[in-house]
Amino acid sequence: MAASKKAFPLRLDPALHAAVERAAASDLRSVNAEIECLLREALGRRGVTLDPPERARRGRPPKESGDE
């Protein structure tokens, strides 16, 4: 999943980064996830609709048929 995300450098004012970091901690998210969430919310307020983000699959992968 993570390989399908676009990576790029982002320069932020240190005070802005600190504020995002505090917001991320209060939401139990990483800074990266918080920035993505904030961008989605801001785009939504501007009327830009996006598909919901693809959630990472959790847990044990399904068994292959015939492995028993």
pLDDT level of residue 10 (50, 70, 90 thresholds)? very high
DSSP secondary-structure letter at 9? Answer: -
- Provide the domain limits for residue 40: 12-45
- State residue 1's pLDDT score: 46
- Torsional sign, CA 22, 26, 28, 29: negative
Residue 29 in any domain: the answer is yes
Residue 25 has pLDDT above 80, yes or no: yes
Residue 57 in any domain: the answer is no
Residue 34 in any domain: the answer is yes
Residue 64 has pLDDT above 90, yes or no: no
Residue 41 has pLDDT above 80, yes or no: yes
Residue 33 in any domain: the answer is yes
Cβ contacts of 37 within 8 Å, gap of 6 or more: 27, 29
- The verdict on pTM exceeding 0.75 is no
- Are the beta carbons of 27 and 34 closer than 8 angstroms? yes
CA distance 38 to 50: 13
Looking at the structure of the chain, the number of domains it has is: 1
Q: Is 61 exposed, middle or buried (0-12, 13-18, 19+ CB in 10 A)?
A: exposed
